[in-house]
Amino acid sequence: ETGVTQSPTHLIKTRGQQVTLRCSSQSGHNTVSWYQQALGQGPQFIFQYYREEENGRGNFPPRFSGLQFPNYSSELNVNALELDDSALYLCASSLGQGLSYEQYFGPGTRLTVT
């Protein structure tokens, strides 16, 4: 059984640029959630996708957007990058709609905005 994978591992971008992060769900999982974890902080919920539809969203501006594909993999897009967007971005997959299900996390993508 393949776990959750994320790419790239690390990324450096300049303020104002756009970035796309990718996530492959654990086999059989149809729900993907994205989190932002600043250094020394707990993860913050960005949004969740269930069967290609956004299914819940945290307090993040619209420049954070996402997609889920028919194979349940997902992308997180961030436009107009700001210095505060520097963080570890975590993807988690689960089986079933909603956040009450056990989530399996990937290793994360470390984004640095300069």
Partner 1 sequence: AQKVTQAQTEISVVEKEDVTLDCVYETRDTTYYLFWYKQPPSGELVFLIRRNSFDEQNEISGRYSWNFQKSTSSFNFTITASQVVDSAVYFCALMEGTFGFNKFYFGSGTKLNVKP
Minimum Å gap between C-beta 44 and partner 1 is 7
Q: Are 6 and 75 contacting, i.e. CB atoms less than 8 angstroms apart?
A: no
Minimum Å gap between C-beta 110 and partner 1 is 9
Find all residues with CB under 8 Å of 5, minimum gap 6, and list them.
23, 24, 106, 107
Choice between 10 and 15, CB closer to partner 1: 10
Choice between 15 and 24, CB closer to partner 1: 24
Q: How far apart are CA 94 and CA 17, in angstroms?
A: 31
Minimum Å gap between C-beta 50 and partner 1 is 8
